[in-house]
A and B are shown apart, each in its own frame.
Chain A
Amino acid sequence: MKMQLKGVSGSLRELGLLAFIILLGITVQIRNPVFLSLMNINAILTNTAILSILAVGMMLVLVTRGIDLSVGAIIAFTGMVTALTVAKYPGINPVAALLLGAGVGFVIGSLTGLLVAVFDILPIIATLGMMNVVRGFTYVVSGGKWVSSYQMSTSFKALATGKILGINNLIVIAIVVYIIAAYFINQTRMGRRIFAVGSNPEAAEISGLPRKRLVFTAYAIMGALAGLAGVLWVAKFASAQGNTAIGYELQVIAACILGGVSISGGIGKLSGLLLGTLLLGILNNALPLINISPFWQQGIQGITILAAVLTNVVVKRNNERAALRRRAI
Chain B
Amino acid sequence: MPEYILELEHITKLFPGVKALDDVHFNLKEGEIHGLMGENGAGKSTFIKTITGVYTPNEGEIRLYGEKVIFSNPLDAQKCGIAAIYQHVTCYPDLTVAENIFVGHEKIHKFSRKINWKEMHAQAQDLLDQLDANFSSKTRMGDLSVARQQIVEIAKALSMNAKIIIMDEPTAALSLHETGELYRITEQLRNDGASIIFISHRLEDIYRLADRVTIFRDASYIGTWPASELDQEKIVSHMVGRPLTKMFPKRDIHIGEEILKVENLSRTGYFRDVSFTLHKSEIVAITGLVGAGRTEVCESLYGITRADAGNIYIAGEKAVISDPVAALLHGIGFLPEDRQKQGLILEWEIGKNITLPVLELYSKYGMLNKNEEQEISNKLAKRLAVKAPNIFSCASTLSGGNQQKVVFAKLLARDLKIIILDEPTKGVDIGAKAAIYEIIGELAEQGYGIIMISSEMPEVLGLSDKIVVMKDGHVSALFTTAGTKQEEILHAAMVKNVYSSQGLGVDS
Instruction: Determine if B93 is an interface residue (Cβ-Cβ < 8 Å).
Output: yes
- For B113, the chain A residues whose CB sits under 8 A away are 188-189
Say whether A203 contacts B139, CB under 8 Å: no
Tell which of B214-222, B265-273, B401-409, B442-450 binds the partner: B265-273
As a 0/1 sequence over residues 184 to 207 of chain A, the CB contacts with chain B under 8 angstroms (1 = contact) are 001111001101101110111111
User: How big is chain B's contact interface, by range?
Assistant: 35 or more
* Pairs A–B under 8 Å by Cβ, sample size 21: A3-B144, A183-B114, A186-B115, A188-B113, A189-B108, A189-B115, A192-B115, A195-B92, A198-B94, A200-B93, A203-B91, A205-B74, A207-B78, A207-B103, A208-B75, A208-B78, A325-B268, A325-B269, A329-B269, A329-B472, A329-B474
Interface positions, chain B 43-95, Cβ under 8 Å from A, are 52, 54, 73-75, 78, 86, 90-95
* Shortest Cβ gap from A179 to chain B (Å): 14
Instruction: Determine if B143 is an interface residue (Cβ-Cβ < 8 Å).
Output: yes
Known: A3-B143, A187-B115, A324-B268. A192 touches B90 (CB 8 A): no
Q: Which of chain B's residues has its CB closest to A209's CB?
A: B104
Say whether B473 contacts A202, CB under 8 Å: no
- For A204, the chain B residues whose CB sits under 8 A away are 92
As a 0/1 sequence over residues 108 to 152 of chain B, the CB contacts with chain A under 8 angstroms (1 = contact) are 100001110100000000000000000100011001111000000
Contact of A329 among B52, B54, B270 (CB under 8 A): B270
Instruction: Determine if B175 is an interface residue (Cβ-Cβ < 8 Å).
Output: yes
Inter-chain CA distance A209–B86, complex, in Å, is: 17
Inter-chain CA distance A195–B92, complex, in Å, is: 9
Say whether B91 contacts A200, CB under 8 Å: yes
Contact of B95 among A7, A189, A192 (CB under 8 A): A192
Say whether A327 contacts B93, CB under 8 Å: no
Inter-chain CA distance A8–B75, complex, in Å, is: 35
The 3 closest A-B pairs by CB, nearest first: A324-B269, A203-B90, A208-B75
- For A200, the chain B residues whose CB sits under 8 A away are 90-93
Contact of B103 among A6, A196, A328 (CB under 8 A): A196
Say whether A266 contacts B93, CB under 8 Å: yes
Say whether A7 contacts B139, CB under 8 Å: yes
Inter-chain CA distance A248–B201, complex, in Å, is: 55
Instruction: Determine if A75 is an interface residue (Cβ-Cβ < 8 Å).
Output: no
Contact of B99 among A192, A202, A208, A328 (CB under 8 A): A192
- For B74, the chain A residues whose CB sits under 8 A away are 205-208
Instruction: Determine if A267 is an interface residue (Cβ-Cβ < 8 Å).
Output: yes
Say whether A202 contacts B90, CB under 8 Å: yes
Say whether A187 contacts B114, CB under 8 Å: yes
7 extra A-B contacts, CB within 8 A, seeds A3-B144, A189-B108: A199-B92, A199-B94, A199-B95, A205-B74, A206-B54, A207-B104, A266-B93
As a 0/1 sequence over residues 314 to 329 of chain A, the CB contacts with chain B under 8 angstroms (1 = contact) are 0000000101111111
Interface positions, chain A 213-268, Cβ under 8 Å from B, are 262, 266-267
Inter-chain CA distance A11–B107, complex, in Å, is: 27
* Shortest Cβ gap from B26 to chain A (Å): 20
Say whether B86 contacts A206, CB under 8 Å: yes
Instruction: Determine if B258 is an interface residue (Cβ-Cβ < 8 Å).
Output: no
Q: Which of chain A's residues has its CB closest to B141's CB?
A: A199
- For A198, the chain B residues whose CB sits under 8 A away are 94
- For A187, the chain B residues whose CB sits under 8 A away are 114-115, 117
Instruction: Determine if B263 is an interface residue (Cβ-Cβ < 8 Å).
Output: no
As a 0/1 sequence over residues 291 to 329 of chain A, the CB contacts with chain B under 8 angstroms (1 = contact) are 000000000000000000000000000000101111111
Instruction: Determine if B106 is an interface residue (Cβ-Cβ < 8 Å).
Output: yes
